[in-house]
Structure 1
């Protein structure tokens, strides 16, 4: 199969699970013998633009005509079987969909967040869930300055959502939702359930897996309000006041709350802030964990760190909402705390560290869950099923065999989405 991946890479200054997922899927497909090319822009390149060029960036968010021309020419030259779109903000824009339509190439798109119904893509405002823009013009997002707390910065996103909504829904054969929870929200918001297929992100089998009891609790991710960092600090302070849990808390990452986290962790024996880890350090830190902690206050569309913990045989303590409730089975592969409640989080952290035997059994169950649902083999099957469905849909073949049929049987496999009905 020949796949062209379209992606606007996020800034390298911040850890990006989305960048990681794109790179891993490209590597997975290539390792399986498929040809994968990449059409991309990099947000890092904005800094090198001239002043007029930087000023013009917001104007390109709703529509970048140069991208349409460039991508259409490449599609005519290379003729891929399918185009896989990831992020188009801020330099690519939905013009990539017009280019694909110009040449007649089928499109699949992974929805990594909620940008189809919410300008900043988080369904959250002021630390609380928000659906004020869902199903209507996104004027509330502009009024509240939901993107970067800036009305001006929010305007291009709101305009793009408004003017390109129909283009997305008509120009994409198949949307990959990264959880059933995300799919449910999008269906309730009016997106067609027939276009939405659940395809969980996969995680490469790590070189490091936990072999002992673990040395620390680990928070690994962006240091932001929506990720529950302040909630974690509050819960940890309450645990410390009650004697602690016997292991330190390691916080790895960077983000807008970095200064606050650094000051909070300074001169403490029970907390270590280690900054931004590289991928190898992340794998090692997870493998040495008693548990990984993900107390997000927003409705995570997936929760990559929980799947990475499972791959290493490590349980997770996560917020009991969003995609986490389908990733982590409470009491089996980890613990779910009540979202936004520091006492509930503190209780779960105490529980996950109190019984080493139970913790080890949770770790073994986590690894089994990973092998069944988030391994590379499962990820590859789901990707190819989605591509086949998109190609058949564009060609009008419906459920008939496509040129990308299973070589061993001569017939297309039933897609996982069809078997599962796209639900939990």
Structure 2
């Protein structure tokens, strides 16, 4: 097949799981012999623009006519079998869908977050779950300044969501949800259920699994409120006051809470803040972990770090909501704590570090779960199957696309995820 991947790359100043997923899918498809082209913009280029150019960026978020023309010309010249859209914010815009429609090329889209129903894409406000804009006008997001804490910055994504809602619905023939939990939310918001299928992200095999009991608990990710960093700090302090768990906490990453985390860790023997790790350092740190902790307070649409831990045979302690409830089998491949509760997180961390034999059993089960559901072989099979289904089923545009079923969409994990979100 000939696939054209459309993606606005996030800034390189912050690690991006989405960028990594796109790169890995492209490499996987090419390795299998498919022809894959890239149509990209990079957020890094914004800083080098002139002042008028920077001012113009927000105006192009809802619609970028130059991008539409450029993509349309490329589609006419190359005639790919399918266009795979990932992120279009802020430099591409949903105008890419109009280009695909005009060229008669079917488009699929991976939904990496909740941007189709929530301007910042997080379903969170002030550290708590929020669905005020879901299925409704995005004006509350502007009123609360949900994107980067700014009302002005929230206007462009809110306008884009409002004016392009129907374009997304009619211009995409298959939406790839990266978890059943995410699909539940989007179906509830009114997105066309027959075009929403679950296609979990895959994770490359790290090449080595944990060989002993591990030497630390690891937090690996963005240092932000939504990722549960402050919750983890409170839970770890409670554990330390009660004698600790016998291994240190290693915190790796960067973000808005970096200074706060560094100050918190300074002078402590039970906490090490190591800054931003490169990919190889991340793999080594995961493989040496007693457990990886993912205490997000927002509803994660997937959770790459969870699956990366499972790939290395390491159990996970994760918040019991969002996608985590379908990735982690509580008590089998890891432990789920009550979302937002430091005492529950502390209890799970103590349990997972207390029994070496049970920990190893969970690590073995986690590796088995990875092999069955999240390996490159499984990822390639599901991706190519969906492409072929879209290409074969196309008959006069997205409105003619046949209903699609997916075994994961009705999984028990999806049901639990939806129920947790509703709470």
Normalising by structure 1, report the TM-score: 0.94
Structure 2 residue 33 is matched with structure 1 residue 33: yes
Give the Cα–Cα distance (whole angstroms) in 1 for the partners of residues 145 and 9 of structure 2. Answer: 23
Q: What's the C-alpha RMSD, in Å, of the aligned pairs?
A: 1.4
Give the Cα–Cα distance (whole angstroms) in 2 for the partners of residues 421 and 119 of structure 1. Answer: 25
8 Å contact 2:101–2:397 — kept in the other structure?
Answer: no
Matches within 5 A, 1:310-325: 310-325=310-325
Give the Cα–Cα distance (whole angstroms) in 1 for the partners of residues 396 and 361 of structure 2. Answer: 49
Give the match for residue 172 of structure 1. 172
Question: 1:421 Cα deviation (Å)?
Answer: 5.0
Structure 2 residue 358 is matched with structure 1 residue 358: yes
Number of aligned residues: 408
Give the Cα–Cα distance (whole angstroms) in 2 for the partners of residues 295 and 207 of structure 1. Answer: 26
Change (3 A) 1:337 1:421: closer
* Matched position secondary structure for 1:159: helix
Give the Cα–Cα distance (whole angstroms) in 2 for the partners of residues 64 and 123 of structure 1. Answer: 26
Structure 2 residue 148 is matched with structure 1 residue 148: yes
Change (3 A) 1:423 1:190: farther
Give the match for residue 383 of structure 2. 383
8 Å contact 1:315–1:334 — kept in the other structure?
Answer: yes
* Matched position secondary structure for 2:205: coil
Give the match for residue 119 of structure 2. 119
8 Å contact 1:196–1:422 — kept in the other structure?
Answer: no
Change (3 A) 1:24 1:375: same
Structure 2 residue 318 is matched with structure 1 residue 330: no
Give ranges in structure 1 of 5+ residues lacking alignment: 399-413
Question: 1:161 Cα deviation (Å)?
Answer: 0.1
* Matched position secondary structure for 1:300: coil
Question: 1:192 Cα deviation (Å)?
Answer: 1.1
Give the Cα–Cα distance (whole angstroms) in 1 for the partners of residues 406 and 213 of structure 2. Answer: 40
Question: 1:396 Cα deviation (Å)?
Answer: 6.0
Give ranges in structure 2 of 5+ residues lacking alignment: 413-423
Cα deviations by residue, 1:267-326 (Å, 9 ceiling, x for unpaired): 111111111111111111000000000000001000110000000000000000000000
* Matched position secondary structure for 1:184: helix
Give the match for residue 100 of structure 1. 100
Cα deviations by residue, 1:221-243 (Å, 9 ceiling, x for unpaired): 00000000000000000000001
Give the Cα–Cα distance (whole angstroms) in 1 for the partners of residues 113 and 376 of structure 2. Answer: 22
Give the match for residue 409 of structure 1. none
Cα deviations by residue, 1:120-153 (Å, 9 ceiling, x for unpaired): 0000000001011111110000000000000000
Give the match for residue 277 of structure 1. 277
Change (3 A) 1:391 1:324: same
